[in-house]
Each structure stands twice: as C-alpha cells, then as structure tokens.
C-alpha cells in the first residue's frame, strides 16, 4: 500500500491559512493584553487616590501640590509613598517608551522614560499627570521643545487658564486630580501605545477618589 504525503500546494495552503489566522488573532491578543494593563492602571490611580485622601485627612483637607502638572513629581512621590507603601503604583504598566521628549530621557537613549526604574523614581518621573499645581502652566521649564511640556504650556493654558490650581477637598468632587498621559503618544523606538489609543484613552482620578476611563478628547471633559 502506497503512503500518500502532503503535496506542495496543500502545504502552501495550510501555511497561508495559518498566516491569515495569525494576522486576525494577534491584534486581538494585543488588545486583550492592553485592556488588562488599562485595568491595572485604573487600580494604580485608585490606590493613589486613596493615598491622597488619607493625606488630606492628616493635613486639614489640603492635598499635595506640585509646581506643574507634568514631571517631575518629587513632592508627590515623597508624601504619598508612606500612605500607599508601593512606589510602583506611580507607574502605568503601559508606560515603557511611548515617544520622544527632552525632559524625561533618563538614560539618554532618545525615548521618554516613564516606566518604573530607580533612575526615574529618584528624579520624580512618574507615569501620570497631577493637576494640583502652584505655578502658572506657561512657566513649565522642561525643555525647548514645546511637546516636552505640552500638558502645561498647551493643554492647561487653553482649557484651565494660565493660573495655578492649588486644590483641596473643598473643591467640587468631579475635578480632575490625576490622569494617564494623553499628549498624542506614539509607539516609536520600541514604544507602546498606551491602552491602544493613538490620541485618547485615559484613566482619570477625580477629587472624590473615584476613577473612570474616558475614550474621547480630554478637552471635551476636562474639569
């Protein structure tokens, strides 16, 4: 009895089917992984919000304040770490290398560094914007490239005004306190699109401590 094997055409057909299935399934797997990271990120900012509220209970309803909404956040990490007891909460799991700027290139490789790393911890470079600040947004001094300070110089000047924003628990509870970054991130140099969105898919921590994911332009809902 003669044994029949695969023909070349049959083998090519099988390879083509595997390639098509891979092309279909790999993006799905990627989205599922990013959804898991987004969930982890929401947990991070929620726990940071708990830390802010505990701090406020100890300091007459005043919350921590920073010079600007963008990095570095040395004061925030210092005062909240005793309450959250986990410095890694300040780092979104999607934050590795998501673009090119000046102010946070900790290892001089041309990639924005906002992942958990001892160098970033020491410099106060975290993965989130913090919206309680005492200097005018236009005074941000993170580099000559305007994109490096876009959250202060551009977004906040336009949608908040060129003025400080020293928050306390006396403010309305739906004011933004912290958020993911949303400054047109991209995935160059091995970077990752945060939560699989080219422009906007951010987790927002509100002053009352609740967290919500939004998938629309930040300027439409910022408060």
Nearest to 127 by CA among 172, 36, 192: 192
> Are the beta carbons of 155 and 183 closer than 8 angstroms?
yes
Model pTM score: 0.77
Annotate 39-50 with b (16+ C-beta within 10 A) or e (fewer).
eebbebbbbbbb
Query: Where residue 99 falls among pLDDT bands split at 50, 70, 90?
Result: very low
In the predicted model, is pLDDT for residue 127 greater than 60? yes
* Annotated domain spans of the chain: 8-221
In the predicted model, is pLDDT for residue 210 greater than 80? yes
If one compares 82 and 219, the residue with the highest pLDDT of the two is 82
Nearest to 99 by CA among 188, 199, 183: 188
Distance CA 60, CA 200 (A): 35
Average pLDDT (29-33) is 65
Nearest to 168 by CA among 135, 140, 134, 202: 134
Cβ count near 35 (within 10 Å): 12
Residues 6+ apart with CB under 8 A from 4: none
In the predicted model, is pLDDT for residue 191 greater than 80? no
Average pLDDT (169-189) is 76
């Amino acid at each position: 009895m003669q044994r029949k094997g695969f023909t070349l055409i049959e083998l090519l057909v099988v390879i083509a089917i595997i390639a098509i299935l891979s092309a279909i399934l790999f993006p799905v797997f990627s989205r599922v992984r990013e959804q898991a990271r987004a969930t982890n990120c929401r947990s991070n900012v929620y726990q940071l919000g708990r830390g802010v509220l505990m701090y406020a209970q100890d300091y007459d309803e005043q919350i921590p304040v920073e010079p600007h909404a963008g990095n570095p956040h040395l004061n925030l990490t210092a005062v909240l770490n005793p309450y959250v007891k986990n410095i890694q909460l300040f780092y979104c799991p999607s934050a590795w290398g998501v673009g090119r700027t000046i102010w946070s290139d900790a290892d001089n490789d041309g990639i924005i560094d906002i992942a958990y790393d001892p160098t970033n911890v020491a410099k106060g470079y975290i993965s989130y914007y913090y919206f309680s600040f005492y200097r005018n947004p236009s005074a941000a001094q993170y580099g000559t490239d305007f994109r490096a300070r876009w959250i202060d110089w551009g977004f906040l000047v336009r949608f908040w005004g060129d003025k400080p924003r020293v928050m306390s628990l006396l403010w309305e509870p739906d004011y933004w306190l912290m958020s993911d970054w949303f400054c047109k991130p991209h995935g160059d140099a091995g970077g990752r699109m945060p939560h699989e969105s080219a422009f906007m898919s951010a987790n927002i921590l509100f002053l009352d401590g609740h967290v919500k994911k939004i998938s629309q332009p930040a300027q439409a809902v910022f408060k």
